[in-house]
């Protein structure tokens, strides 16, 4: 009766200036309404942390691929 459902949406797509990473958390149900002030703060922190981690991961792998491609251009194995 006081249940809550949480849905997460993660969308990554290309754009002219790079990549857009969209993260969304949605909560529904009576508990979600009652706990909304607490949930909002927790959701914002969780999304921020996940986005920072994904950005760091993608940027580190992008640099690795750049180095690998540079070696290929220079004829290195």
At 71 the pLDDT is 52
Name which residue leads in pLDDT, 57 or 77.
57
- Name the nearest CA neighbour of 6 among 50, 52, 45, 40: 40
Q: Give the residue-averaged pLDDT of 51-66.
A: 75
CA-based torsion, 29, 31, 34, 36: positive or negative: negative
Q: Is the pLDDT of residue 77 over 70?
A: no
pLDDT at 57: 85
């Amino acid at each position: 009766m006081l249940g809550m459902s949480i849905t997460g949406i993660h969308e990554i797509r290309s754009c002219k200036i790079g990549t857009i990473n969209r993260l969304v958390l949605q909560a529904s149900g009576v508990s979600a309404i009652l706990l909304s002030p607490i949930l909002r703060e927790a959701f914002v922190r969780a999304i921020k942390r996940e986005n920072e981690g994904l950005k760091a991961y993608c940027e580190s792998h992008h640099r690795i691929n750049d180095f690998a491609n540079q070696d290929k251009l220079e004829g290195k194995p």
